[in-house]
Amino acid sequence: MTAAQDRVAERRPGRPRSERAEHAIIDAALDLFAEDGVEGVCVEAVAARAGVGKATIYRRWSGKEDLLMDALASLRRPLPAPRGESVREDLTAIVDAMVKEAEDPRRSQQYGLWLTEAHKYPKLMERYSENVLKPRREVLRSVLRRGVATGELRQDADIEIALLAITGTVIARGKHEPGPAPVGFGGHLVDELLAGLAPR
């Protein structure tokens, strides 16, 4: 779980937190973001949309940026932890999780909007990259590096190109072929990738 995602789940001192209210607030923030971008998200509007008081939001987040950060973080779930037994199995599990995530049309649309808007908000994008994107990429890197170390992959394998090949393919499939991926898509993608990375 990333730092931003962990904040969504953590309990703070005071009254017990309502999981239902938490989800309603996050969903409201994402809906407002989808409708009007970052500027459309404010604590008052989120509270009204979620059916909670502003105090309920401020007990959980210090302000709009922290709330939006956690809402955007919720668009990308933590990747499964590698088991460390097989590079192919670990990559397939990760790709399957990424593909399933991309199959949610509402979340995909919200994520696409965020990528379009992100350049306007460099500080927020920096936080998002640090707390959400980098940890996910590092999971993939760790599996690929392990494959090089164990001899499952070539010693000269380009880890960054392989990482981009995986993430780019999943994103492109979700964008151009909406709906559930074909059965076995994750394993097929990994096999094609490993065919180029395997020792010669």
What confidence tens digit (pLDDT) does each residue in 79-123 have? Answer: 899 999 999 999 999 999 999 888 887 887 888 888 888 888 899
Locate tokens 């459309």: which residue?
A: 40
Band (179; pLDDT cuts 50, 70, 90): confident
Q: What is the reported pLDDT for 11?
A: 41
Domains, the chain, ordered by start: 3-73 (1.10.10.60), 87-197 (1.10.357.10)
What does the pLDDT average to over 21-25? Answer: 94
User: In terms of pLDDT, which residue wins out, 178 or 53?
Assistant: 53
Q: What percent of the chain has pLDDT over 70?
A: 92
pTM over 0.85: no
Among candidate residues 110, 77, 102, 108, the one with its CA nearest the CA of residue 8 = 77
- Residue 194, pLDDT > 80, answer yes
Band (13; pLDDT cuts 50, 70, 90): very low
- What mean pLDDT value characterizes the chain? 87
User: In terms of pLDDT, which residue wins out, 198 or 155?
Assistant: 155
Angle at 95 between CA 7 and CA 141, to 5 degrees: 70
3-state secondary structure of 154: coil
